[in-house]
Amino acid sequence: MTREELYMLRAIELAENARGSVNPNPMVGCVIVHDNKIIGEGWHQEYGKAHAEVNAILSVKDKTLLANSEVFVSLEPCVHHGKTPPCTDLLIKEKVKKVYIANIDPNPKVQGKGIQKLRDHRVEVVTGVLHDEGRQLNRRFFTFWEKQKPYIILKWAETQDGFIARSNYDSKWISSVPSRKLVHKWRAEEDAILVGTNTAQHDDPKLNVRDWQGKDPIRIVIDKSLRLKQSLNLFDQNQKTICYNLLKEEEKNNLVYVKLNEADFLESMIQDLYQRKVMSVIVEGGASLISAFIKLNFWDEARVFISKKTFGEGIAAPVLNGEISGEEKIEDDLLRLYVKTS
């Protein structure tokens, strides 16, 4: 690994600290190097607050060193006025000599303009350092802007003999306690979490973050004919909830009803979520809903817990056509990770 890659790897590590805290912004880390020594580090910590470059520059004790320093940033510095001023202007003002960038920002407001402005002010720019690692870090952000849809994560637990629930829809508890705790961590990292009508009715889930520290995701439920009872946890209005259906449009407090057409229901729902700037969704069930996403190829990755328990009979787990990208043992469970191959 080259010195440039090592410094960029550190910038990516710093960016990871912001997972779940900066959406719909990307996670960005920044490292400032002078004479082969790191003199400043920072990352974008919270949506609407200072960006990585600002925090890194603020951490530099001797600001006179900036004029002869290299900056390593995991994503192209912004060039537009948003919640904060453009980072390109700050880098130009501090007269940094060289900027290394992992990825060009796909947001049309940036998309190469930050790089061009730096070069116009005689700042040397090198792009593509740890390009693939940078895209993996911000895969939700890139999917959102390039494919104009949320990043879709399928998640379920299945028994060793391949069932996702018993015949009466009971699925508690297939996975282990540590696995369920990990799921709460995932919830805190994503924008939204989706369940179908049967899961909402039979499990009465809260879909909040309890066994981890972090923000609650937006809850999404499909209830086409509006047959779910209002007494369910999903409708307690404790966190924002969107109910996609065929019958009504309505918004009250934290509860939003969105009417869609039957013919292209899932496609329209995904497009509506994109318009609402929802960057990522965990689909938690049930089997028929997850299978519908798989059939339409509306998914990006899947996380499947395989338990040692057996049911003998019940509702069969979905079947994926993706590639196994990793496996991990969590107590008695096997966590199998998939990525979509096409």
Give the type of residue at 311: F
Walk across the sheet containing 218-222 and list its strands.
250-252, 255-259, 241-245, 218-222, 192-195, 280-285, 151-158, 301-306, 333-339, 323-330
DSSP state of 221: E
Cα angle value 106/110/113 (rounded, 5°): 120
Token pair for residue 290? 């997850």
DSSP state of 317: P
Token pair for residue 154? 């399928």
Which residues partner with 315 through β-bridges? Answer: 165
Based on the residue annotation, tell me whether 331 is a catalytic residue of this protein. Answer: no
Cα angle value 139/140/144 (rounded, 5°): 115
> Which of 168, 202, 167 lies closest to 285 in space, CA to CA?
202
By the 8 A CB rule, do 282 and 290 touch?
no
| Catalytic option among 4, 16, 53, 262 | 53
Separation between Cα atoms, residue 38 and residue 40, nearest integer Å? 6
In the chain, % helix, strand, coil (3-state, to 5) comes to 30, 25, 45
Q: Going along the chain, which residue ranges are E strands?
A: 29-34, 37-43, 70-75, 98-103, 124-127, 151-158, 163-165, 192-195, 218-222, 241-245, 250-252, 255-259, 280-285, 301-306, 315-316, 323-330, 333-339
**Catalytic annotation, residues:** 53
